[in-house]
Amino acid sequence: MDEYSYLTDIFVRRNQDILGGNLVGIYLHGSAVMGCFNSLKSDLDFIIVIKDDIPNAAKRAYMDMVVALNRQAPEKGVELSIVKENVCSPFVYPTPFELHFSIAHLDWYQTAPCDYIEKMRGTDKDLAAHFTIIYHRGKALCGKPIHEVFSEVSREYYFDSIWGDIENAQEEIIENPTYIILNLCRVLAWQRENLILSKSEGGRWGLSNIPEQYAGLIAGALTEYESHNPNPAYDGKPVEACAKEYADYMLTQIKSGR
């Protein structure tokens, strides 16, 4: 992550230039603050908190800035949401956002910027998960301290947020095995022990707390996630051989704790 510290410094200064006195703070979350950043597989995750509405002209300048900086970002790019301070504490769910960007939306902005500026706002349940990581493990890059801006997200809202990532695990695990395998571990770790973990930490927790028959699958996912290996062998077998059984077991365990 140190290799991108210059980029976060520039990002902070550009935010201050564009948002001025409207800026409350910029908060880093995700793998960059959880010790598992991989420049080939991680993005840079930011939440930007503001006081008041942003005029469309300022949004356009902001997006142009983000798109330019995104060219220097890791392969998965920058992901960010701008939210108002009054939805952070007390926490509002589903959480309204004023602007969002990830590389999934890059083409939309580049081909129809006015349409993007008009329509890229709404609510996002994922923000409950992001705010939780910020509250417990995030980093304030500038502005107010985290606990002055964010209140703790309730278990009900946090679970509803993360459930959306795993509820279709039995189908999605074949297409995206590493993400689903490790994500199921960290959700169960939170369900059982209230732990807020990265995917790497979740996998290690799984190796110690999930039946041994799934150890090879989890270890393979960890190896792939932490290295540059694009096609790992999970326990010496194709993923399909045991992945769906694993997903079914994990979902049953997670549901039993609801």
Question: What's residue 228's pLDDT?
Answer: 59
Query: Which domains are present in the chain?
Result: 2-155 (3.30.460), 167-256 (no CATH)
d(CA 101, CA 18): 16
Share of the chain above pLDDT 70, in %: 94
Is residue 247 over pLDDT 70? yes
CB 218 within 8 A of CB 203: yes
Question: What's residue 99's pLDDT?
Answer: 98
- 201-244: pLDDT as tens digits: 999 999 999 999 999 999 989 998 988 555 555 554 556 778 99
Nearest 5°: phi and psi at 79? -130, 135
Q: What mean pLDDT do residues 40-50 have?
A: 93
3-state secondary structure the chain: CHHHHHHHHHHHHHHHHHHHHHEEEEEEECHHHHCCCCCCCCCEEEEEEECCCCCHHHHHHHHHHHHHHHCCCCCCCEEEEEEEHHHECCECCCEEECEEECHHHHHHHHHCHHHHHHHCCEEECHHHHHHHHHHHHCEEEEECCHHHHCCCCCHHHHHHHHHHHHCCHHHHHHHCHHHHHHHHHHHHHHHHHCCCCCHHHHHHHHHHHCCHHHHHHHHHHHHHHHCCCCCCCECCECHHHCHHHHHHHHHHHHHHCC
Nearest to 41 by CA among 5, 82, 7, 73: 73
> Per-residue confidence at 41, pLDDT binned at 50, 70, 90?
confident
CB 23 within 8 A of CB 143: yes
Question: What's residue 258's pLDDT?
Answer: 63
- 127-181: pLDDT as tens digits: 999 999 999 999 999 999 999 999 999 999 999 999 999 999 999 999 899 999 9
Q: What mean pLDDT do residues 65-89 have?
A: 96
Is residue 112 over pLDDT 90? yes
Share of the chain above pLDDT 90, in %: 83
Q: What mean pLDDT do residues 46-67 have?
A: 98
